[in-house]
Every structure is written in C-alpha cells, then in structure tokens.
Structure 1
Amino acid sequence: MLRIVLIGLGNVGKAFVKVLLAKAGELAKLGYEPCVVGALASRGGVVGDGCLSNKLLAELADKGLYGATEVRSIELGDLISLNPDVAVVAIPPSYRTGEPNLSMYRELVRNRVSVVTADKTGLALAYQELVGEARARGVYLGFTATVMAGTPALPLLRGLRGRSIDSITGVLNATSNYVLTLVEGGLPMIDAVKRAVEEKIAEPDPSIDLGGLDAAAKAVIMANTVGLPVSLRNVEVQSLLNLNEAYIRDAVRRGVRVKQVASIDLAKGRVSVKPMEVPAGGVLGSVSGNYNTLIIRLRDGNEITLIGPTGPAGATAEVMFSDLLEYVELRLMMGKG
C-alpha cells in the first residue's frame, strides 16, 4: 500500500486526484495500491481512519474542498501524524518570502515524508538545502512538473550531466508569450494583461509571470540540476511591465520579437531573466501560446533544442503521477517493497 497525502486542491491538485483515480491500477501492478489518507488546502482538510473513499476523492477532484463532506480544521502536522509515504504538493508559489511553502517542505523532509511537487518555491530558494537533506534522510523529491510541466525538460538535463554544458537559454513563461503577442497586435499592455487574467492564462496577480519570477524560478531549478548552485535571490530579473509598447511593436517591423528570455551561463555562473530581442523566425522568436522552448549549448559545439507545451493542469498532473511511479520503482529497486 502507498500512503499518500494531498496538499493543495486548486486546478492542478484536483487534476492530480482525477489522474490518480484513473491510473491507480498502474501503481497496484507494482504492488503499491494507492491509499489517500488525508488532504489539506487553504480552507481546511479531510482525514480518515483509513483510506479516503473513492466517492470522497471524486468530490475532491470535482470541487476541491468546497462541498466535500467531513471538512475540518487541520494542519500539516495532522497529515504527518498519519505516517504518509509521500506528499503530493500543488500549491501557489511564494517567492518573495518563501513562506509557508519552504517551512512545509522542511518539515516534510525532516519527518522522512517523500515529496512530489509542482510548486517551485522551495527548490528556487533552497535547492541545495532541500535536496541535500532529502538525500541524508533517504527521502524522494520529485519535481519534474516544476519546469515545462508537460514537456520533460528536467529528465533531459539530468541525462546531460555527464556532458559539458556551456549555456542554457529559454522562453519559459507562456503568460508572457501571450501578453507580448497581444501587444504586438496593437493592444495596450494594461488591456493585454487584463485579457490574460480574464481568460485564465494568467493568475489574478500576473506580476509573478510578467515580472520574471516564474521563469527565474524555473531557471534556478535547471541550473542546480546541471551543477550550478544558485538561488532565486542571485538571479538578475527584469520585468516586462516596464517596456514601451511602441518598442515591442517596432521590433516586429525590424524582423525581431521581444521575448522574456531566461539565460544560464554555466562558465560564468550567472542566471538572468529579462526582455530580449530575438530573431522572429528563430527558435526563441517563433515559440507561442502555452509552448516553451530551451536551447542547450554544449562545449563541443553541439546544440540540443527542446520545444513543447507547459501544462495545462491535466498535463502537469500526469507529470506528477510519473514522478509518483518513479518513486515506487526506486523503492522496489532498493528492496523497500
């Protein structure tokens, strides 16, 4: 049996419950029947004497905790007291202070609870600490969904750790892509941002995306994955919101496009996210919609390009389930089945 606790029941959290219900048989085939023992969100949580029923899980997948039966006031410690094997985390980021996210990850790892997460906060602010502590305590951290969610960017980078990487450049935020495209078409920046929020492409507070923090957090996780120890606090970040609209439109007439570009320079140990002009027909200039792209330059002169979708919530949840499968497979390999 695999004892699971759920933390966060927004769009991604609800989508994960749907995936878990649909794919439970894949875990059962490996000898780990999934058992959700508790769930926690901003307005409370649910715990059971044993596994939560599929009926209750279906309610959580549909409406989160709203309308779900047996909701009560609980805290993270209540979930940890249930002795879960793994916590599946899908909560909003908190880059400016790190809290409560960072303390939550520390408490889970300290109590030897493995983690599968789509939230970038902890790793963006304290990657080396959390990964080091997880290794010391034999805890699994699965965070494939934190970068390019629906496209396996981090597995690719892990596969390149034996090679010498010179730099990584990418367009990593779909909201910024969308807003810049609207401005290119003549819409004022303020109206473009408003439309992105109305169409649920951007969060109610779009400054995390347009200000560059989301892309910076992804860049930090990628940099650490390939051996560059850096924190979000070390990244040079410039916002799109200060750009002149006429400049964005004039760039198109000159055959270039303004994009929010994340850059990782392994040789110089620098990470930045800022608006840059890129060729309109190039890899970075042609990416649009919910697609992201990476260009990985190797020191032998070769390049690897990755282009793919980031999300939506269903794809992100499926990637999180892939991490859950990896966790189970690792347990089996280590003889902990």
Structure 2
Amino acid sequence: MLMKIAFIGFGGVGQALAKLFAEQRNKLKDDYGLDPIVVAVSDVMKGAVYHPEGLDINELLNVVKETGSVENYPDQAGLMKGWDSLTTIKQSNADMIVEVTFTDVKTGQPAIDHIRTAFEHGKSVVTTNKGPVALSYRELASLAERNNVFWGFEGTVMSGTPALRMPVTSLAGNDITEIKGILNGTTNYILTEMEKGKSYEEALQKAQELGYAEADPTSDVEGYDARYKTAILANYLMDTKIASDDIYCEGITNMTVEKIEEAKSANKKWKLLGRITKENGQVKATVKPELLDADDPLASINGATNAIVYECDLAGPIMLTGAGAGLIETGYSLLIDIINYQRQSAPTNR
C-alpha cells in the first residue's frame, strides 16, 4: 500500500524514522505491503518542503545534515516551500501525519492542534508527544473515531518497547487490575548510581554528562515525566478519565545515600514507580519512590532501563522491559504504529 507521509517536526526522532524508511524500504514492501512516500516536511526551525509525488529521503536527510534547512532541497517542478505546519496538514496530499514537534508537555501544544487539525481533515496521525495523550486523550480519540482515521502513540510511554500495544493485543481477555512500572530511565539511573555510593548530586551530574538527564532535569527528577506516562496508561489501558495533575506525584530529589543504605541493609531497594490500581471499578494512580523487596522483579531493573508489570487475572503478573528512550528506538515506535495502521487498512497483506 502506498502511504503518503508528512512530517510535522523533523528533529532527531523524525530523521530517525526517515532513515528507517530509506533503509527498510524493500523489507517494508515485501513483508508488510507498505510503501511509505514522504511528501512533506514542516519544521519550525528547519523550514518546509512539499512535493505531491514524493521527496527523495536520502537527499532530504543530506540537505538537513549539510545545511540545517529542508528548504535547500533541490528545486524541481511542483515543489513547494515555506508552508507552516497547519498549512502542510491541511493542503498536502498526505494520508499520514507524523507529529514529532517540540511540544510543551504541560499544555500539549502545538501537538494537540496539529492532531486535531489532521483528524478534522481525514488524516491519520502517529506521534511520540506525551502531552496530547495525557491531556486530551478522550477528545482526540473520539475525533479520530468520528473521522475514521488512525491514531498511534505507542512511543509516548516506553519508546520502542510496546507498553501500550502488547497488553491490548497479547493480553486480550485478561482483566488488568494493576499496572506498575519504572517509567523514567533518568531517575532509575540516578538511583542505581546512588546504590553504588554516589550522592544524589554526583549521580545527577553523571546522568547529565551521559545525556540521560537534561540541563534542567526537573521533569525527570520531580516525577513529572513519569506522571504523564502514568496518565496515558490509566486512560488508555484502564479506560478511566484521570488527569495527570490529579495523580499524586513525588520525585527523587529528597533521596539520600543514607536512605539507600538503610534499604540495602533491609534487603530492599528504592524505585520511582508509576502505579495504577483498579478496585471495585475505581482507578487510582500515584508516582512516588517505593521501597521494594530485593526479589521483586522491578527491583532488579538497573540503569536507564524501563520496565512495567501488568497484574492480570488470568495470566498473572507479566513484566515487560526495554529501552525507554533513544532516537532509533523512538523512531521505531512510530514505524510500528504505521505498520499496524497498514495492517488494519489492508488485512489481507502479511
């Protein structure tokens, strides 16, 4: 199936997906009947380019690498330049919008407006932006359903690790009564380093040096990133209306070496967990440091790795672990969403 794709945002994640399109073209076509054609890119910093018959992906990537602007793509008949994001969504012939802009997770913008506009114009969307799912899931899901379009957001929780699709597909038929997980690799890395004897400040500095933590690590260390992901899990998998601001949130900034050592002496470990529980139809969610027994499966998760446990009535506890970040992994999460959309659209294709 020929799929015309427009990138809204073309930073590291968008470029990683474009590279996957180029590198996996034959495999995608042979194995899944998928033929992705990039027709447009619109990026607030890198400019915009559109051609209804498609752009050469390798040329596009080279132009961005060498000049920093997609508008230096070679001129040709039918090529348009300079469209803003909303114009690209509305006027391009794209079937699928890849929404990977720099978005304020507290407001969900501009991604919410991009997604809403795409749905209103009959276009499907895949995104890795947490804000729209955490803040406007029900509105946008309803809009997608009314317009008979697809919305994929697998990468919003654990990047390329299928924390959302796996329970929906492979655990179908189970009643999931609890979800708990290490949803932020930065804080798990810091806690792991503190177990080795580093102070919180030393562990944070090392995380920043390795690129796990931002210069301003507030979203990670205060638990906000994990809270948004917990809200997504609660809304999508527990089918409940819960706003991220309504989830109790406590980060790791008050963690000390003394607390870590006390836990170790009691054969326990501290982990920052997102936890969602369902009891008698009521769903509650928290994000906070929790003291786990050393033999708890989540206690063995070290470094920047993420992990999640689904408590199922039939299958019992199921744990999924993997990378929660990374350009290739996040680009892959978008590709998986696109492949699954193609499978739904053309079920006779493998």
Q: Structure 1 length normalisation: TM-score?
A: 0.90
Matches within 5 A, 1:65-76: 66=68, 68-70=70-72, 73-76=82-85
Aligned to 2:3: 2
Q: Work out whether 1:56 is the aligned partner of 2:59.
A: yes
Separation (CA, whole Å) in 1 of partners of 2:145 and 2:67: 33
Aligned to 1:42: 44
| Pair 1:10–1:197, CA change in 2 (3 A) | farther
For residues 181-216 of structure 1, give each alpha carbon's deviation from its aligned partner in whole angstroms, at most 9, with x where no partner exists. Answer: 222323232232222122111233322122212222
| Pair 1:150–1:64, CA change in 2 (3 A) | farther
* Shift in Å, 1:8: 2.4
Aligned to 2:97: 87
For residues 241-294 of structure 1, give each alpha carbon's deviation from its aligned partner in whole angstroms, at most 9, with x where no partner exists. Answer: 133342233322322111111100122311111111112232111101232222
Q: Tell me if structure 2 keeps the 8 A contact 1:38–1:45.
A: no
- Where structure 2 has 5 or more consecutive residues not aligned to the other structure, the ranges are 74-80
Aligned to 2:126: 116
Separation (CA, whole Å) in 2 of partners of 1:132 and 1:86: 18
Q: Percent same amino acid at aligned positions? A: 29
Q: Work out whether 1:316 is the aligned partner of 2:325.
A: no
Comparing 205-214 and 255-264, the one that deviates more: 205-214
* Shift in Å, 1:122: 0.4
Q: Work out whether 1:249 is the aligned partner of 2:250.
A: no
Q: Tell me if structure 2 keeps the 8 A contact 1:240–1:275.
A: yes
Separation (CA, whole Å) in 1 of partners of 2:344 and 2:67: 32
Q: Structure 2 length normalisation: TM-score?
A: 0.87
SS in structure 1 opposite 2:188? Answer: helix
Separation (CA, whole Å) in 2 of partners of 1:167 and 1:284: 14
Separation (CA, whole Å) in 2 of partners of 1:64 and 1:262: 42
Matches within 5 A, 1:192-211: 192-211=203-222
- Structure 1 segments of 4+ aligned residues over 4 angstroms from their partners: 29-32
For residues 139-184 of structure 1, give each alpha carbon's deviation from its aligned partner in whole angstroms, at most 9, with x where no partner exists. Answer: 1011122222232221222133532221111111111111112223
Give the counterpart letter for 1:215 in structure 2.
Answer: A
- Where structure 1 has 5 or more consecutive residues not aligned to the other structure, the ranges are none
Matches within 5 A, 1:113-192: 113-159=123-169, 160-192=171-203
Q: Work out whether 1:105 is the aligned partner of 2:115.
A: yes
Q: Work out whether 1:240 is the aligned partner of 2:240.
A: no
Aligned length: 334
| Pair 1:55–1:69, CA change in 2 (3 A) | farther
SS in structure 1 opposite 2:189? Answer: helix
| Pair 1:257–1:215, CA change in 2 (3 A) | same
Aligned to 2:14: 13
Give the counterpart letter for 1:54 in structure 2.
Answer: I
Q: Tell me if structure 2 keeps the 8 A contact 1:125–1:233.
A: no
* Shift in Å, 1:311: 3.6
